[in-house]
Structure 1
Amino acid sequence: MKAPVAKKNPKKLITHNDIRIDNYYWLNDRENPEVIKYLEEENAYTKEQMKSTDLLQKKLFEEMKYRIKEDDESVPYKFNQYWYTTKYIKGGEYPLYIRKKDSLEAKEEIMFDVNEMAKGYKFYQIGSVNVSPDNTMACYSVDTVSRRIYTIQIKNLVTGKILSDELKDTTGNVVWANDNRTIFYSVQDPKTLRSSKIYKHILGTSQKEDLLVFEEHDETFNVYVTKTKSLQYIVIASGSTLTDEYRFIPADHPEAEWKIFQERIRGVEYSFDHYEGFFYILTNKDGATNFKLMKTPISDTSIDNWIEVIPHNEEILLEGFELFKNYLVTEERERGLTHIKIKSWDNSINYEIPFEEEVYTVGTSVNRDFDTDTIRYRYTSMTTPWSDIDFNMRTKEKKVLKEQEVLGNFNKDNYVTKRIWAQARDGVQIPLSLVMKKDTQPSKNTPLLLYAYGSYGYSMDATFSSIRLSLLDRGFIYVIAHVRGGEDLGRPWYENGKMLKKKNTFYDFIDCAEYLIKKEYTSSNHLYANGGSAGGLLIGAVINYAPKLFHGVVADVPFVDVVTTMLDDSIPLTTGEYDEWGNPNQLEYYNYMKSYSPYDNVENKEYPNMLVTTGLHDSQVQYWEPAKWVAKLRDMKTDSNLLLLQTNMDAGHGGSSGRFESLKEVALEYAFYLYLENKLN
């Protein structure tokens, strides 16, 4: 089968008197039958090219599925008289939401069986479940298209009946007032998907009657509604990349007038929770780049009344905090690792929970109870499956409630993980987290998969994956490059990988790859790269800069047409991301974006083997970005390497909704790496 050739229909794009010609702009129309036909032709081509791996893909899928315990359930947590858990049953793609009253020995109550609810749908996802304070009702949100546009419905948990109330075009975000009849929810623009409005709904009324209580007019901001851990306040959060603003009312009085916590100040980020007579605030106020903890009386929350609790530390990022009756718990990131610190309000207790592994990931879990000595956290490493742990903050006694069960012959002692550091071209040390099987010998002939993300300040923590074992057991080394643009080494790590410093992200990845080659962990012939979404942008930029560095790459739902997308404020995410990428309506940012945008910088040269994935209904990165990119690469590249585009015609940014169905997509990607590797041997 010959590779599909997308027709050229040149469109002239003029900005700042600069002319760009986009031959494939016409693909920006999912309602056009010709577009669908082209995507289906690409899918058929991918299937034909990968046909020799059909058995391998099936084997990979079966072994990945086999390692996952089918009849599994989460660790129960108690909240407001009930124990809550989610459960999976054998043969089920979706979870069951379950609760038991007062005791774990009580009769099981199935609130939602998503396997039954999903019947007849190609895609089905519950976004949230929120139980009323009196435990009789539950709001739940459903997306059946994969555009992250949710319909909220309400179920009577006593009778099992679904109320007639139906709230459409929401984000799925919903909060109950304490009167058990009022809910607040957020609504998004149906075209841009920007969450901009908060409505109040009274049970038994129609959505048309709902009261708009807040609308965010700044197109760079998004809104959501939440509740303090104390359950005493309902909060409307409005935030952009750089700035936050909150409003609140007592949860007992949903009719109350909303009070602004602190008016937005450009560049000041903050979030808060409630404890007794104070709100505790995590903020970067006064140039606290790595954030600090402050508090303010409930009676006056303006910024002039904020009092310092934990000062700013230039070496340590204060990521979050948890309030208890007798304790303040903080999560702090230092040298790429998270630490949990415990401090009692009376200062008699002050210590850090110890962890033994060189590279690990830890974070607080569900802690809804205020009056307790126990904190629950989750721990993992690249060799240690996820563990749910209850830790007594007074006695320091640790109880492992559950370690993720990996079926088959898995033994974590057969694998090794470590942290290594690569020097970037500007002298900065970049951390890499590495995992491999103990008997794998790094050499020039060892296959290695390098992964990174590097945007939005998201730290790519070193976590366990039972799926990844299918590569490790076949001799692969897997490495996460903690490049700038994430927040792995503190807030400055993020600031130095965004806006007009975005290229640091790409250069870091290249320098990490070259370091791994120099230290003979692998060679270019056996080096592979993967990234998704903004990480797909990373992959696209890197192969333009260093096309011969990798033997093969997989770009998942890649953000590759940066300039055109960021100039189009009618599509999702654009306006809210000006503080991440820059606003190309300004010449300086336009020129900088254009200099690295993967789509704009495709050239007549050789590229590595490539597999590109997307979803027709993607709400984050529109399908036409990867589709146009592949079409342009096909036309311009000078090599005979594989170039494959796989579009999930029924899903969006996150792929298939089923628990196991998504493994087929991973199996295709792993088969791609293994196919390329086997061709070398």
Structure 2
Amino acid sequence: MTTARTPGPEAVARPLTRSHHGDDVVDVYEWLRAKEDPEVIAHLEAENAYTDERTAHLAPLRQRIFEEIKGRTLETDLSVPTRQGAWWYYGRTVEGKQYGIHCRAPLASPDDWTPPTLTPGVDVPGEVVLLDGNIEADGHEFFSLGSFDVSTDGARLLYGIDNEGDERYTLRIRDLRTGDDLADVIPDTSAGACFSPDGRFVVYTTVDDAWRPDTVWLHEVGTDAAGDAQLFHEPDDRYWVGAGFTRSERYLVIEVGSSITSEEFLVPASDLRAEPRSIWPRREGVEYSATHAIVDGEDVLYVLHNDGALDFELVRVAASDPTGPREVILPHVPGRRLLDVSAFRDWAVVSYRRSGLARMGILSYATGDVRELSFDEELYAAGAGGNPEWAPPVIRLGYGSFVTPGTVYDYVVESGEFLLRKRQSVLGDYSPDAYGQRRDWATADDGTRVPVSLVWKRSFGDPGEGAARSVHLYGYGSYEHSIEPGFSVARLSLLDRGVVFAIAHVRGGGEMGRQWYEDGKLSRKRNTFTDFVAVARHLVDAGVTSPALLVAEGGSAGGLLMGAVANLAPELFAGILADVPFVDALTTILDPSLPLTVIEWDEWGDPLHDASVYEYMKSYTPYENVREGVTYPRILAVTSLNDTRVYYVEPAKWVARLRAVGADALLKCEMVAGHGGVSGRYNAWHQRAFEIAWLLDVLGLAEA
């Protein structure tokens, strides 16, 4: 039961007129954007104090949930070692420590492909600690590692640290023989820096004033960063850049991309100052990515592209002449969305989606056939990862589902055997058999069938049979990002209290192929919101839940979804949790000086120069459409002061406007954090416990 509602902080109304396309909009809360203004900070602190007051009665529940998460987690643990060069690399966690410890141990022999069995709490023979996040984070409220790479010879470590949450990292290089850092210090870099194969150089990227990664640099180890060479610069504000070496170590690949167009450049690893050579010149609307292989002694590129192939096609071209003849390896098949191809010496791994699930297979260079890996569960997530070696006999892959904890396998390519290396420990009496999962389908207003994933604890009965159940409905629906059926320890605290967890796989995501994405962006963005509403109505009509027992959650672009459905169908939800929500989208997308705005025009449209886009976005942007006389569900917005992707000001303005029309809206602003929230695993558990406790309170289960 909730405590008595007291008035929240009232943001002062300071009218500011915004004029575009003959439309004058008076925004009374835009002044909250002035992050350095003491009055703004005071308002955010007042919001936090109010949220603390309104949720004080949940403190015991929050602590119980935190202890449940902690009690189910093996706090002292180790990851499965990954082979690279002469070492096994792995991470370890220690009870009571916030951050991971990065380590390595030597191979038993050059033919050793079986990772050592590591026992939590037991010393590993020959272990070398490369970086202890707890030491690096000491004295800082926030810590994030954005780059981590070891030179091919194993002699040096490259690492990048962010202590603010703004995703700008300071790069350093550590001599692993002495444990000392070199004098090299490179500030304000983007994530993902790496050594060159010979270890002489570091390749890194920097961002422009709008936080767009736009320049690739070459740093020679042991020199002053002021003399670093610029390898590539992208002047077009619509494109971001990145760089990395092929697994074969033959090439540096510089990637340039927007939401709808891409281009890649090759630079020989043996001559990194050479002029980058475009693989295919960019063409508006054409996306591609290339991976290098050596087939029958010839350098080739496997190129995944959508040129005349909506769900993508795979072709092979000569690396020396990539614009020459294309050999089709995997033709375009509608409904089979090719996602990625990763080349190894003897075969490649292909990732794709079909029938709403991510799948993977082994591509034979000789025949072009793909051997699909099969799994038993109806819903699951599987993908390759942690495979740095060029010529391994096995592929490391991760697997999991709503009920199966994260699992690591080595797949023996020659025999097709799965070697279980580790399954995430869930302490206590957890049993996958105690939980059920299934796929339902809702029907959207236009007749489109929208997939819905559900997971629940069986002892409470199957959803839709018997009395209505409490439901936690999650959604995202942007950037072709798919929400996979993955396992969550924290989610058990909801399931074990009888809550059904559901995911609405709405258009704008990638679950059902590229067309699914296309039908939920630009001028069809409203489909994302109406699909979510259709799923909510389906769950109510099917007897799974009722509006009084239905809460919704989404973050970032999914937070925009939350704000939109709050305006579209407030009567369907008891509560809405919006995490770092993109709720003032029109204001943001109108200002090209803000982070990533111009890049975002391919996703949302360009309201600055196109009146029709302006009108369409204004019709759905949550902040613009908060209505008088509406009974809104209870709303909790969570944000971070240093978030550079979705500024704190968006949820701050949104909550102010909601409260002005009488809504019960709370704002929680982390004052030292970024887009991903607080850092440190215990801090993250406390944050999630806060959110879960609020959700349970809305559902009337705070005492459960």
Under a length normalisation based on structure 1, what TM-score does the superposition of the two structures give? 0.97
What is the distance in 1 between the residues matched to 2:643 and 2:187?
19
Q: 1:625 aligns with which of 650, 654, 659?
A: 650
1:418-469 Cα deviation digits (max 9, x unpaired): 1111111111111111000001233554110000100000011111101100
CA–CA distance in 1 between the matches of 2:624 and 2:232?
A: 40
Indicate the residue corresponding to 1:196 in structure 2. Answer: 214
Q: Which residue of 2 aligns with 1:114?
A: 133
Would the alpha carbon gap of residues 349 and 567 (structure 1) be closer, same or farther in structure 2, given more than 3 Å must change? closer
Between the aligned partners of 1:680 and 1:122, the Cα distance in structure 2 is: 30
Corresponding residue of 2:431: 411
Q: 1:606 aligns with which of 631, 648, 656?
A: 631
Partner of residue 488, structure 1: 511
Matching of residue 96 in structure 1 with residue 101 in structure 2: yes
User: Which of 553, 574, 587 lines up with 1:551 in the alignment?
Assistant: 574
Report if aligned partners of 2:442, 2:449 keep a CA contact under 8 Å in 1.
yes
**Cα pair distance change 1:422/1:348, threshold 3 Å:** closer
Q: 2:307 aligns to what SS in structure 1?
A: helix
**Structure 1 segment 456-471 matched on structure 2, within 5 A:** 456-471=479-494
Q: Which residue of structure 2 lines up, in the alignment, with residue 396 of structure 1?
A: 416
2:339 to 319, 328, 335: 319
Q: 2:267 matched to which residue of 1? A: 249
- Quick one: which amino acid aligns to residue 578 of structure 1? W
Cα pair distance change 1:48/1:101, threshold 3 Å: same
**Matched residue count:** 676
Q: 2:150 aligns with which of 93, 112, 131?
A: 131
Task: Report the counterpart of residue 295 of structure 1 in structure 2.
Answer: 316
Asked whether 1:59 is paired with 2:82, we answer no
Alpha-carbon offset, residue 283 of structure 1: 3.1
Shift of 1:348: 10
1:240–1:356: structure 2 CA closer, same or farther, 3 Å change rule? same
Q: 2:226 aligned with 1:208, yes or no?
A: yes
Alignment check: 8 A CA contact 2:497 2:701 kept: no
TM-aligned CA distance change 1:212 to 1:343, over 3 Å: closer
Name the stretch that deviates more: 322-331 or 410-419.
322-331
Corresponding residue to 1:579 among 602, 605, 608: 602
Superposed CA deviations along residues 557-584 of structure 1, whole A, max 9, x for unmatched, are: 1001111100111111111111000011
Match of 2:690 in 1: 668
Letter paired with 1:591: E
1:180 aligns with 199
1:277-333 per-position Cα deviation (integer Å, ceiling 9, x unaligned) = 24433433432111111111111122x433211101112111112323332331221
Partners in 1 of 2:392 and 2:578 — Cα distance?
A: 45
Q: For residue 86 of structure 1, report the CA deviation from its aligned partner.
A: 1.1
Question: Could you tell me which residue of structure 2 aligns to residue 157 of structure 1?
Answer: 176
Task: Tell me whether 1:597 sits opposite 2:617 in the alignment.
Answer: no
Identical aligned residues as a percent? 40
Q: Which stretch has the larger CA shift, 14-23 or 201-210? A: 201-210
- How far residue 153 of structure 1 moved from its aligned partner, in angstroms, is 0.7
What is the SS of the residue equivalent to 1:670?
helix
Question: Which amino acid in structure 1 is aligned with residue 373 of structure 2?
Answer: I
Tell me if structure 2 keeps the 8 A contact 1:359–1:418.
yes
Counterparts in 2 of 1:225 and 1:523: CA distance versus 1, 3 Å = same
Matched letter for residue 642 of structure 2: H
Distance 2:369 2:510 in 1: 29
Equivalence for 1:420: 440
Check conservation: 2:550, 2:699, Cα contact below 8 A: no
- Structure 1 pair 159–337 and aligned structure 2 pair: CA distance change class (3 A): same
**Alignment partner of 1:432 out of 441, 452, 463:** 452
CA contact (8 A) 2:302 2:341 kept: no
Mapped contact 1:444–1:523 kept (Cα < 8 A): no
* CA–CA separation in structure 2 for the residues paired with 1:279 and 1:73: 38
**Compared CA separation, residues 285 and 420, structure 1 to 2 (3 A):** closer
Contact 1:245 1:262 in 2 (8 A): yes
Q: Deviations over 1:82-133 (max 9, x none)?
A: 1111111111110111111223475001000111111100001111211112
Distance 2:30 2:504 in 1: 33
Query: Structure 1 residues 282 and 491 mapped into 2: Cα distance closer, same or farther (>3 Å)?
Result: farther
Q: What amino acid is the match of 2:409?
A: I
Aligned 1:7-406 pairs, distance under 5 A: 7-103=12-108, 104=116, 106-189=125-208, 191-276=209-294, 277-302=298-323, 304-347=324-367, 350-406=370-426
- 1:396 maps to a residue whose letter is G
Q: Distance in 1 between matches of 2:360 and 2:197?
A: 32
In the alignment, the residues of structure 2 paired with residue 500 and residue 55 of structure 1 have an alpha-carbon distance, to the nearest angstrom, of: 46
Structure 2, unaligned stretches of length 5 or more?
1-5, 109-115, 117-123
Q: Deviations over 1:56-86 (max 9, x none)?
A: 0111111112211111111111011211111
Paired residue secondary structure (2:190): strand
- Once residues 501 and 554 of structure 2 are traced to their aligned partners in structure 1, the CA distance between those partners, rounded to angstroms, is 13
User: 1:516, 1:255 → 2: CA distance?
Assistant: 59
- Say which SS state the counterpart of residue 192 (structure 2) adopts: strand
Q: Summarize the Cα distance change of 1:91–1:313 in structure 2 as closer, same or farther, 3 Å threshold.
A: same
> Secondary structure at 1:193's aligned position in 2?
coil
Tell me by how many angstroms 1:342 deviates: 2.4
Report if the CA contact (8 A) 1:282-1:320 is conserved: no
Task: Tell me the secondary structure at the aligned position of residue 351 of structure 1.
Answer: strand
Contact 1:551 1:608 in 2 (8 A): yes
**Residue 416 (structure 1) shift:** 0.4
Q: Structure 1 residues 232 and 679, CA, compared in 2 at 3 Å: closer, same or farther?
A: closer
CA distance in 2, matches of 1:141, 1:376: 26
Stretch deviating more after TM superposition (525-534 or 252-261):
252-261
Measured in 2, the distance between the counterparts of 1:321 and 1:202 equals: 31
**Match for 2:654: what amino acid?**
W
Greater mean deviation of Cα atoms: 130-139 or 458-467: 130-139
- Aligned residues of 2:291 and 2:341 also touching (Cα < 8 A): no
Please give the alpha-carbon distance, in whole angstroms, between the structure 2 residues aligned to 1:324 and 1:227. Answer: 13
Match of 1:659 in 2: 681
Instruction: Say if 1:198 and 1:213, in contact at 8 Å, map to a contact too.
Output: yes
Distance 1:333 1:411 in 2: 29
Note the C-alpha offset of 1:680: 10
Give the deviation of 1:349 after TM superposition.
7.3
Return the offset for 1:256: 2.4
Spell out, residue by residue over 1:229-272, the C-alpha distance to the aligned partner (whole angstroms, 9 max, x if none). 11111111111111111122111222323222221111111111
Q: Alpha-carbon deviations, 1:479-519, whole Å to 9, x = none?
A: 01110000100011101000100000000000000000000
SS at match of 1:262: coil
Partner SS, residue 159 of structure 2: strand
Contact kept in structure 1, 2:551 and 2:699, CA below 8 Å = no
TM-score, normalised via structure 2 length: 0.94
Distance 1:100 1:483 in 2: 45
Residues 92 and 115, structure 1, Cα contact 8 Å, conserved in 2: yes
> What does the per-residue CA deviation read over 1:136-191, in whole Å, with 9 as the maximum and x for residues that have no partner?
111100000000011111111111111111111110221222332211110012x3
- Give the AA of the match of 1:615: S
Q: CA separation in 1, counterparts of 2:548 and 2:268? A: 62
User: Is the CA contact 1:384–1:412 (under 8 Å) kept in the aligned structure 2?
Assistant: yes
